[in-house]
């Protein structure tokens, strides 16, 4: 696993690109405006990173991160990620994304919505419940007492292993919460949303949560919240 494709170069995409490069991965990153607009970012990231179109980032990545506004996911060609392991970081903000009926009715979780669009990919939910700034500051070497733990969800064990290896390599432990259908438990505004990875959510006070604490937060989730 050496090339990470990143679709979306905003708050989360740019931080993940930095963490991936620092961990020794090659990065191919794309946004909606085209590779020229990413010249400054890839220069900062150094020789392991290059800018590309979304199609190129999708094709190049052994692992592909989709980190764009959820409402814009359907703009990406559905078959462009066939056969890929895909990390979905997206959250649902109707005021930004527009109303999405299958989410409002709870027919699908947000990651099932992404999985349904990319039917030929294997989607793993990750990074949706950590602030971008925290993501770029709380990474720690394996075994550090204050290394934070991030939640994932997925329906394909092999894909989850690939994603776990990546997350561990960039500086975090991983807690597997179960299938995508249950991943509403750490969607927006649930107890296991922002702040779950540290005691207070304050990057000045990082503290690794135990699996029991994470489980308790997931168990407190209330489907009616969103
Ligand atoms: N910000 C956070 O702390 C945070 C934390 C966890 C999860 N999230 C979620 O993760 C996702 C990304 O958040 P963000 O804060 O990084 O967003 P952001 O800063 O607004 O960046 C969004 C990126 O998506 C790109 N984009 C939009 N439509 C696209 C398309 N059709 N094709 C290719 N690229 C497209 C944009 O390209 P241009 O730059 O060319 O417009 C931009 O680079 C969202 O769903 C968000 O809810 C955010």
What confidence tens digit (pLDDT) does each residue in 129-170 have?
Answer: 999 998 999 899 998 887 889 999 999 999 999 999 999 999
pLDDT (average), residues 22-27:
98
pLDDT (average), residues 32-41:
98
pLDDT (average), residues 90-115:
98
Would you place residue 1 in the very low, low, confident or very high pLDDT band (cuts 50, 70, 90)?
low
65-69, 107-111, 129-133, 198-202: the lowest-pLDDT one:
198-202
Q: Is 150 in the pocket of ligand 1 (CB under 6 A)?
A: no
Q: Is 80 in the pocket of ligand 1 (CB under 6 A)?
A: no
Indicate whether 219 pLDDT > 90. Answer: yes
Check residue 206 and give its pLDDT.
47
Q: How far is the CA of 147 from the centre of ligand 1 (A)?
A: 26
Check residue 139 and give its pLDDT.
93
Q: Is 89 in the pocket of ligand 1 (CB under 6 A)?
A: yes
Nearest CA to ligand 1 atom 23: 8
Tokens of 173: 């432990």
pLDDT-above-90 percentage for the chain: 81
pLDDT (average), residues 72-98:
98
Which has more confidence, 71 or 197?
71
Check residue 204 and give its pLDDT.
52
Q: Is 194 in the pocket of ligand 1 (CB under 6 A)?
A: no
| Residue from 62, 142, 74 nearest 102 by CA | 74
Q: Is 59 in the pocket of ligand 1 (CB under 6 A)?
A: no
Indicate whether 202 pLDDT > 50. Answer: yes
Check residue 179 and give its pLDDT.
98
CATH T-level topology, domain 69-225: Rossmann fold (3.40.50)
Which has more confidence, 17 or 214?
17
Nearest CA to ligand 1 atom 41: 32
Which has more confidence, 127 or 226?
127
14 CA closest ligand 1 atom index? 16
Q: Is 211 in the pocket of ligand 1 (CB under 6 A)?
A: no
Indicate whether 38 pLDDT > 50. Answer: yes
Domain positions in the chain: 69-225
Q: How far is the CA of 100 from the centre of ligand 1 (A)?
A: 17
User: Angle at the Cα of 222 (from 219 to 226), degrees rounded to 5?
Assistant: 135
């Amino acid at each position: 696993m050496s090339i990470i494709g990143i679709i979306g170069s905003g708050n989360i995409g740019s931080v993940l690109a930095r963490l991936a490069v620092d961990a020794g991965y090659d990065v191919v990153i794309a946004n909606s405006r085209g590779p020229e607009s990413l010249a400054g970012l890839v220069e900062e990231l150094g020789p392991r990173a290059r800018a590309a179109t979304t199609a190129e980032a999708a094709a190049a990545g052994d692992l592909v991160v989709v980190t764009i506004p959820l409402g814009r996911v359907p703009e990406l060609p559905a078959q462009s990620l066939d056969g890929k392991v895909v990390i979905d970081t997206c959250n649902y903000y109707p005021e930004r994304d527009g109303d999405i009926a299958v989410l409002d009715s709870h027919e699908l979780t947000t990651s099932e919505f992404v999985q349904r669009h990319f039917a030929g990919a294997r989607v793993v939910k990750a990074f949706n419940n950590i602030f971008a700034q925290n993501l770029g500051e709380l990474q720690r070497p394996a075994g550090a007492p204050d290394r934070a733990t991030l939640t994932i969800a997925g329906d394909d064990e092999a894909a989850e292993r690939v994603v776990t290896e990546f997350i561990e390599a960039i500086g975090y432990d991983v807690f597997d919460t179960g299938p995508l259908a249950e991943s509403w438990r750490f969607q927006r505004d649930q107890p296991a949303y922002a702040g779950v990875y540290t005691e207070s959510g304050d990057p000045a006070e990082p503290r690794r949560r135990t699996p029991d604490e994470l489980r308790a937060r997931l168990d407190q989730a209330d489907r009616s919240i969103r």
